[in-house]
Chains A and B, each alone.
Chain A
């Protein structure tokens, strides 16, 4: 039974322990994730290209050139000799140029509404999970109620109402001007539609996140390490921020990436139905929707129009994976 403790035999030399902040560790681990890094680069390129569209676009966004309709990718313009890298549409507008501009709107709508809905879901989910009781009851019932809303129909009604009379749904002027600046749309009506679509999606999309977060918090809350922190005298606030939140959070990253993809596609479905943002303002969604009507005559159009959504979705998913793994010390990278 007798055992000698190894403490006596341990080398007592000065061990220099390089303290690395936790964020530095996460960053280092993330960098080691190859697909995530490639994806991060792809995303940054897409972002920069979209927001620098006026400077790098080879053609005008809406410049119609009926002599060059349905030009194939990598073909020079018959008049100027400038190359249409991704071809042209039914009005001879350059696809590459329009996709760049479209990114501004699509990415803004998707990012802002996903962020909003994730924040709403996080806060409500944590509150419901941590406090339980009537707080949980109230939030869960609201959540179930909202989850039954037919998202699409509500969006359609709201957009229709807005198009009828802009004053019915007041949107603060500074938000409109910000949106117009970010997305490079010129008409106020367009900006209103963008804001409306964003907010409505956010207000209806948070339920999944909230449910996920509530479940995670419920399970993390019962872990012995929560109790051990309480036993050391840790306050509710400390336990929440230091232990509950970090352990409950990671699935939200994946949820975020999935939500972002869903919203990118949702926006395209809206446009497809003729609501959402309309031609001539390009979005990835409405361009894809439009390309579909020429699917059999000019199949390359659908491919080209779908590329940005595909790459963005993939990149965001891989980044989410990488981030989740980097945040979990148990994962070997």
Chain B
């Protein structure tokens, strides 16, 4: 597989001016983040000399663009590399290859010094709100930590900012002095959000921010995130495995399978006419809260293949009910099948036409 194939920019003749994967909205495109052919391979060491014997291709050529103010949902089953994408963008993992352009600069090439400045603009909300807060440090200090690291404001100003952030996420300012274990899961995630918010970031990578929470609390946190987005013009990369959560919050959705994006489209489009068999199977598995409706579910057979040694051709072909000979040999590039709707499938249009629809 050549690199050119994997960069949708070069294979998007329909929209040459608007840049790669620009959302088909009336707004003029204003990309904030442009990920190009991002790869992260983890070496597997073995043998006596601890030599690298293989690579786990956790992320293997992922490209997408995010518009300012949008929410891009990144879904996929566990182990598909979606978290690694988020972490690599933030440089918590060193990328193996690729580029991440954030406001005109390639993050992956920045020196540590410039990176530190950039950390202000990009924040992360972690999955587990308990273990992502230092248990020995009062919440106020945890929230103020970023400000302190970047030398923002005096002690009083920082305290004021923390107070504001806490109020904004619906917590009393007196929470500052308390410790993480004194809060409930939902409150702790609010603290996690306040921690990101206080830095006044432009992009927030939310790594499964609600999957550790009770369902009743999930919606509170999601709605809070949405309110904050409108208020501060935030851009979210929302990583999750829960499709209904993603449907609730995202503007666009990218589906990942085994280290690659297999489909990327407007939320409504993706959930109504998905153009990749994997997305279709996922969507068919969303439970409906009505026992009278019997939906035809697509049961995928087998397990996700090992990212150590991904299948030839289309990575999904061993589990795909529509697979033909070509799928075994030729890897389908991620192409714009209809404006704004990208899919990596040789038979994307057939998938769209097939049942079941949601």
What residues of A have a CB within 8 angstroms of the CB of B77 in the complex? none
For the complex, give the distance between the alpha carbons of A245 and B351 in Å. Answer: 55
B173 at the interface (CB under 8 A from A): yes
B145 at the interface (CB under 8 A from A): yes
Residues of A in contact (CB 8 Å), total: 32
B15 at the interface (CB under 8 A from A): no
B149 at the interface (CB under 8 A from A): yes
B292 at the interface (CB under 8 A from A): no
What residues of B have a CB within 8 angstroms of the CB of A228 in the complex? 124, 126, 132-133, 195
For the complex, give the distance between the alpha carbons of A7 and B173 in Å. Answer: 11
Contact B120 A233, beta carbon cutoff 8 Å: yes
For the complex, give the distance between the alpha carbons of A225 and B195 in Å. Answer: 12
What residues of B have a CB within 8 angstroms of the CB of A12 in the complex? 167
What residues of A have a CB within 8 angstroms of the CB of B172 in the complex? 10, 15
Which residues of B from 171 to 213 have beta carbons under 8 Å from A? 172-174, 176-177, 179, 181, 195, 199
Q: A7 and B170 in contact (CB under 8 A), knowing A233-B149, A329-B179?
A: yes
What residues of B have a CB within 8 angstroms of the CB of A17 in the complex? 173-174, 176-177
Contact A2 B179, beta carbon cutoff 8 Å: no
Which residues of A from 319 to 333 have beta carbons under 8 Å from B? 327-330
Q: Could you give, for residues 51-78 of chain A, a 1 whenever the CB lies within 8 Å of some chain B CB and a 0 otherwise?
A: 0000000000000000000000000000
A299 at the interface (CB under 8 A from B): no
B270 at the interface (CB under 8 A from A): no
Q: A3 and B181 in contact (CB under 8 A), knowing A225-B134, A231-B123, A233-B149?
A: no
Q: Which residue of A lies closest to B177 (CB)?
A: A17
Most chain B beta-carbon neighbours within 10 Å: one of A2, A15, A225 = A225
For the complex, give the distance between the alpha carbons of A246 and B181 in Å. Answer: 17
B169 at the interface (CB under 8 A from A): yes
Partner of A10, one of B127, B138, B146, B170: B170
Contact A233 B150, beta carbon cutoff 8 Å: yes
For the complex, give the distance between the alpha carbons of A187 and B173 in Å. Answer: 65
Least CB distance, B70 to chain A, in whole angstroms: 21
Q: Is the interface of A mostly helix, strand, loop or mixed?
A: loop
A247 at the interface (CB under 8 A from B): yes
What residues of A have a CB within 8 angstroms of the CB of B177 in the complex? 17, 19-20
Contact A233 B116, beta carbon cutoff 8 Å: yes
What residues of A have a CB within 8 angstroms of the CB of B123 in the complex? 231-232
What residues of B have a CB within 8 angstroms of the CB of A7 in the complex? 167-170
B220 at the interface (CB under 8 A from A): yes
For the complex, give the distance between the alpha carbons of A223 and B132 in Å. Answer: 7
A224 at the interface (CB under 8 A from B): yes
B136 at the interface (CB under 8 A from A): yes
Least CB distance, A298 to chain B, in whole angstroms: 52
Which residues of B from 154 to 175 have beta carbons under 8 Å from A? 167-170, 172-174
Contact B116 A231, beta carbon cutoff 8 Å: no
What residues of A have a CB within 8 angstroms of the CB of B126 in the complex? 224, 227-228
Contact A5 B136, beta carbon cutoff 8 Å: no
Q: A231 and B124 in contact (CB under 8 A), knowing A7-B167, A329-B136?
A: yes
A153 at the interface (CB under 8 A from B): no
Q: Could you give, for residues 170-189 of chain A, a 1 whenever the CB lies within 8 Å of some chain B CB and a 0 otherwise?
A: 00000000000000000000
Q: Which residue of A lies closest to B176 (CB)?
A: A17
B119 at the interface (CB under 8 A from A): yes
Q: A234 and B173 in contact (CB under 8 A), knowing A3-B220, A228-B126?
A: no
Partner of A229, one of B116, B145, B169, B170: B145
Partner of A1, one of B133, B199, B219: B219
Partner of B119, one of A3, A232, A243: A232
Q: Could you give, for residues 232-247 of chain A, a 1 whenever the CB lies within 8 Å of some chain B CB and a 0 otherwise?
A: 1110001000110011
Most chain A beta-carbon neighbours within 10 Å: one of B127, B134, B138, B150 = B134
What residues of A have a CB within 8 angstroms of the CB of B120 in the complex? 233
What residues of A have a CB within 8 angstroms of the CB of B132 in the complex? 224-225, 227-228
B153 at the interface (CB under 8 A from A): no
What residues of B have a CB within 8 angstroms of the CB of A20 in the complex? 177
Least CB distance, B227 to chain A, in whole angstroms: 7
Partner of A243, one of B134, B167, B176, B181: B134
Q: Could you give, for residues 234-276 of chain B, a 1 whenever the CB lies within 8 Å of some chain A CB and a 0 otherwise?
A: 0000000000000010000000000000000000000000000
Q: Could you give, for residues 109-152 of chain B, a 1 whenever the CB lies within 8 Å of some chain A CB and a 0 otherwise?
A: 00000011001100110111001111111100000011001100
Partner of B131, one of A225, A327, A329: A225
Contact A232 B146, beta carbon cutoff 8 Å: yes
Partner of B181, one of A5, A19, A224, A330: A330
Which residues of A from 124 to 150 have beta carbons under 8 Å from B? none
Which residues of A from 269 to 289 have beta carbons under 8 Å from B? none
Contact A15 B174, beta carbon cutoff 8 Å: yes
A34 at the interface (CB under 8 A from B): no
Q: Which residue of B lies closest to A223 (CB)?
A: B131
Contact A230 B223, beta carbon cutoff 8 Å: no
Least CB distance, B38 to chain A, in whole angstroms: 18
What residues of A have a CB within 8 angstroms of the CB of B173 in the complex? 15, 17
A6 at the interface (CB under 8 A from B): yes
What residues of B have a CB within 8 angstroms of the CB of A233 in the complex? 115-116, 119-120, 146, 149-150
For the complex, give the distance between the alpha carbons of A229 and B143 in Å. Answer: 10
Q: A330 and B135 in contact (CB under 8 A), knowing A5-B227, A233-B146?
A: yes
Least CB distance, A297 to chain B, in whole angstroms: 55
Contact B92 A230, beta carbon cutoff 8 Å: yes
A-B contact pairs, 25 of them (CB 8 A): A1-B219, A1-B248, A3-B223, A5-B170, A7-B167, A7-B169, A15-B172, A17-B173, A17-B176, A224-B128, A224-B132, A227-B126, A228-B126, A229-B134, A229-B145, A230-B92, A231-B92, A231-B119, A232-B119, A232-B123, A232-B146, A233-B149, A246-B136, A247-B135, A329-B138
Which B residues have a C-beta under 8 Å from some C-beta of A? 90, 92, 115-116, 119-120, 123-124, 126-128, 131-138, 145-146, 149-150, 167-170, 172-174, 176-177, 179, 181, 195, 199, 219-220, 223-224, 227, 248
Which A residues have a C-beta under 8 Å from some C-beta of B? 1-3, 5-7, 10, 12, 15, 17, 19-20, 223-225, 227-234, 238, 242-243, 246-247, 327-330
The 4 closest A-B pairs by CB, nearest first: A233-B119, A232-B146, A224-B132, A7-B170
